[in-house]
Amino acid sequence: MQDKNAREIIERYVAGTASEEEKALVEHWYLNSPDAETNISEESIAISKKQVYDALPIHDHPVKRPVSLWPRLAAAASIVMALGAGAYYLVSYQHKPGVSPGLINPYSAAAVLKSGGRDILLDKTANGKISATSITKAAGEEIIYERSNQNSHAVYDTIQIPAGGRPYTVKLTDGSRITLNAATTLRYPEEFSNDRSEEVELITGEIYAEVVHRKSAPLKIRTPRQVVTDLGTVFNIASYPDEPDSRTTLITGAVKVSVNGREKLLSPGEQAIVSGNDFSTETANLNEVTAWKHGVFRFNSARIDVIMRELSRWYGIEVKYEGSITEEVFYGRLSRNMSINEVLRVLQRSNKVSFKIEGRRVTVLSKS
């Protein structure tokens, strides 16, 4: 333990693969180091490593699982840990919730439900029964559909979460729940027939689906690039037009992904990737895939252009670039409740990028 490279220990901590001893070492060092906020480096960790290790009760018996580092740092100031060439570790804290004047905050755009020929602004609609519909708006940004048995043919509604909008969950009449990320549009039936032959369509964006499985009537979700058939499952689909590929990630259960006559059956933890004519699978980082559902940005070896695409959708901003895009990659987890001004300040501490904000336009300025 004492001879391990400090950077490797931090990398394993961020990736979630560190041992209990390594987690305790990192957390104990940070919380007890007087220079932790201003002097985070491999050298500073190495200097204190032996002293901290000797003080920890982890030599001869297992330790209790330590609390995650990120929540325990909530009282400190925002920093970036530069621990090696080409990689930066982001930590954000000291966030004060609420809207501050002059800042670009999340949830600035209104979600729209198109139902029965009406455009309903969900953020301005009170909780309870939505007039002239079989829909109820519930706490926690959820809309719930009830069976009416009044329609002899399929009637479809559309919910649109614009860039900068607040995620919403739709509970369908079969009990399935679909949560929409920002910059997402979903079309779905107000009510399913017995054979559930009606398809759900992800027109654009990202969803997290918790499907009530019926073996004789599987639910199908269609995107511009693929068809996903539920086989009793929870899964995530990301299909943004500004991304180079479309990804379906299986959390639990099983799904079948179909692309131009080709099919792949996913196991939990697998991800199907569709890019042009390429169709492949790989093991997914589930924490990274579902971070948005839990209210955080999670970056794992992410380039600045990838990060900015995600920020543009979440905050409803326009992104421009001046100069070359840095090749450095970033690791870390940031709260989605932060203003973009706060997020950019964290990124800027890498000294490889800086930003200029003009209205809702953010220009990325390279420092390389």
- Asked whether the beta carbons of 183 and 205 are under 8 A apart, the reply is yes
Query: What is the pLDDT averaged over residues 232-238?
Result: 94
0.75 cut: is pTM over it? yes
Enumerate the CATH 2.60.120.1440 domain ranges in the chain, comma separated.
112-289
Bigger pLDDT: 320 vs 45: 320
Is 96's pLDDT higher than 50? no
Is 78's pLDDT higher than 60? no
Q: What is the pLDDT of residue 300?
A: 86
CATH number of this structure's domain 77-103+295-368 = 3.55.50.30
Burial of residue 63, with CB atoms counted within 10 A of its CB: 0-12 exposed, 13-18 middle, 19 or more buried: middle
**Helices 340-348, 304-315: inter-axial angle, 10-degree rounding:** 170
Query: What is the pLDDT averaged over residues 30-38?
Result: 44
Is 124's pLDDT higher than 60? yes
At 12, phi and psi to the nearest 5? -65, -35
Overall size of the chain counted in residues = 368
Query: What is the pLDDT averaged over residues 56-80?
Result: 36
What letter represents residue 313's amino acid?
R
| C-alpha to C-alpha distance for 74 and 11, rounded to whole angstroms | 20
Q: What is the pLDDT of residue 1?
A: 32
Q: How does residue 145 score in pLDDT terms, banded at 50, 70 and 90?
A: very high
Residues whose CB is less than 8 angstroms from the CB of residue 328 and which lie 6 or more positions away in sequence, other chains included: 86, 87, 88, 303, 304, 350, 352
Q: For 309-341, what is each residue's pLDDT tens digit?
A: 999 999 999 999 998 888 888 888 888 999 999
- % of the chain beyond a pLDDT of 90: 58
| C-alpha to C-alpha distance for 203 and 229, rounded to whole angstroms | 16
- Asked whether the beta carbons of 155 and 180 are under 8 A apart, the reply is no
Q: What is the pLDDT of residue 264?
A: 95
Lowest mean pLDDT among 63-72, 142-151, 177-186, 296-305: 63-72
Question: Which of 27-41, 77-91, 312-326 is predicted most confidently?
Answer: 312-326
- Asked whether the beta carbons of 348 and 357 are under 8 A apart, the reply is no
| C-alpha to C-alpha distance for 108 and 164, rounded to whole angstroms | 6
Q: How does residue 24 score in pLDDT terms, banded at 50, 70 and 90?
A: low
CB atoms closer than 10 angstroms to residue 38 = 9
Output the CA–CA distances (angstroms, integers) from residue 202 to 137, 181, 363, in the order listed. 21, 11, 30
Is 286's pLDDT higher than 60? yes
CA atoms within 13 A on the CB side of 191: 14
Lowest mean pLDDT among 33-47, 150-164, 246-260: 33-47
Bigger pLDDT: 13 vs 78: 13
| C-alpha to C-alpha distance for 173 and 176, rounded to whole angstroms | 7
Q: What is the pLDDT of residue 333?
A: 83
- Asked whether the beta carbons of 174 and 196 are under 8 A apart, the reply is yes
CATH topology of domain 112-289: Jelly Rolls (2.60.120)
Q: What is the pLDDT of residue 22?
A: 66
Alpha carbon 93 to chain centroid, angstroms? 18
Q: For residue 283, what is the DSSP state? A: E
Of the candidates 219, 239, 238, the one whose C-alpha atom is nearest the C-alpha of residue 230 is 219
Residues whose CB is less than 8 angstroms from the CB of residue 27 and which lie 6 or more positions away in sequence, other chains included: 66, 67, 69, 72
Q: What is the pLDDT of residue 244?
A: 95
| Planar angle of CA 23, 25, 31, nearest 5 degrees | 100
Is 81's pLDDT higher than 60? no
Q: What is the pLDDT of residue 51?
A: 46
Q: What is the pLDDT of residue 6?
A: 63
Bigger pLDDT: 324 vs 235: 235
Is 46's pLDDT higher than 80? no
Enumerate the CATH 3.55.50.30 domain ranges in the chain, comma separated.
77-103+295-368
Q: How does residue 91 score in pLDDT terms, banded at 50, 70 and 90?
A: low
Is 75's pLDDT higher than 90? no
Q: How does residue 180 score in pLDDT terms, banded at 50, 70 and 90?
A: very high
Q: How does the average pLDDT of the chain come out, rounded?
A: 81
- Asked whether the beta carbons of 230 and 247 are under 8 A apart, the reply is no
Give Dmax (Cα) for the chain: 74
Lowest mean pLDDT among 90-99, 229-238, 294-303, 356-365: 90-99
Q: What is the pLDDT of residue 336?
A: 93
Residues whose CB is less than 8 angstroms from the CB of residue 315 and which lie 6 or more positions away in sequence, other chains included: 104, 105, 106, 108, 163, 164, 340, 360
